[in-house]
Structure 1
Amino acid sequence: MIQIPDLVSECIFKAVRSSGKGGQHVNKVSTKIELYFTPQDSQLLSDQQKNLLYQKLNHLMNEEGTIRITSDAHRSQKQNKEEAIEKLNQLILKALTPKKRRIKTKTPKSVKEKRIKDKKVKSTIKEMRKKPGLD
């Protein structure tokens, strides 16, 4: 398994100004963090893991194959950096965890009987809507 602290050394962090409300504080302090990670350049990932990440996280990658994660939820740069690392951690773990296969099960007999009974009830209700014949 991959150790996330090791992956952090392969990430590029960039501090930028946050958007939105905050007045003077938000205008003079760069607390938003942008994390850039390129799986293809990683020394820690195997080729199989790189391919899996490319397949599952392709929608998050730019033309160069770099994943960009941003965080500006907190007022401190340190907290935003930790949150961005945690987001990357969750993305990678989710992408590399194999999907469980669904086990097919037979429909229970009681469910089939209930469905047939409901159909018959519906049929009789619709039959009652008809005008009576002159027989």
Structure 2
Amino acid sequence: MLSVSRSIVLPESELVERFLRADGPGGQHVNRTESAVELRFDVMHSPSLPDDVRTRLLARSDRRLTDDGVLVIQARRFRDQSRNREDARERLVEILRGALVAPKKRIATKPTRASKMRRLDGKQQRSKIKQNRSRSWSHE
């Protein structure tokens, strides 16, 4: 059981782990042990996720999310399998907790009168600088 929040708990049966050889330092040891972990979680078909959380997760443009709605997390930060396994699970929980909170609606605002004036003043100054350049070129 992987606890995400009070209301969301993922059973082990929904998590698919695959162990593979990690790249990086480790000498000959790295070629023999499968210390990297690939954790897969099917967001699309998980009965443990509420619909709003599922929708937010699937709407994210996350490269770890496959076209089938499966979230794939690879952990190869550490040299031993157990720490990588723990790391992958922590990252999954972090992603799921991020989707629990609904994003705030943006309230459209109008620019203030002073900010409009500053913008127009800046445009006028720039225009004068460019006009002065063209005058100086024509006299040469």
Q: TM-score range by the shorter chain?
A: 0.7 to 0.9
Residue equivalent to 2:54: 50
For residues 65-119 of structure 1, the C-alpha deviation after alignment (integer angstroms, 9 at most, x for no partner) is 3222110000121211111012111222223432222222221222222222222
- Normalising by structure 2, what TM-score? 0.73
State, as a whole percentage, how many aligned pairs show the same letter.
31
Structure whose alpha-carbon radius of gyration is higher: 1
TM-score by length of 1: 0.75
Q: Structure 1 residues 29 and 106, CA, compared in 2 at 3 Å: closer, same or farther?
A: same
Over aligned residues, Cα RMSD in angstroms?
2.8
Change (3 A) 1:88 1:109: same
Q: 1:77 to 1:8 in 2, by over 3 A?
A: farther
Give distance in 2, aligned partners of 1:57 and 1:122.
40
Q: Structure 2: any 5+ residue segments left out of the alignment? A: none
TM-superposed deviation, 1:58: 7.1
Query: Aligned pair 1:12/2:30, yes or no?
Result: no
Is 1:107 paired with 2:108? no
Structure that is richer in strand per residue: 2
Distance in 1 (CA, whole Å) between partners of 2:59 and 2:103 is: 14
Specify which structure has the higher proportion of helix: 1
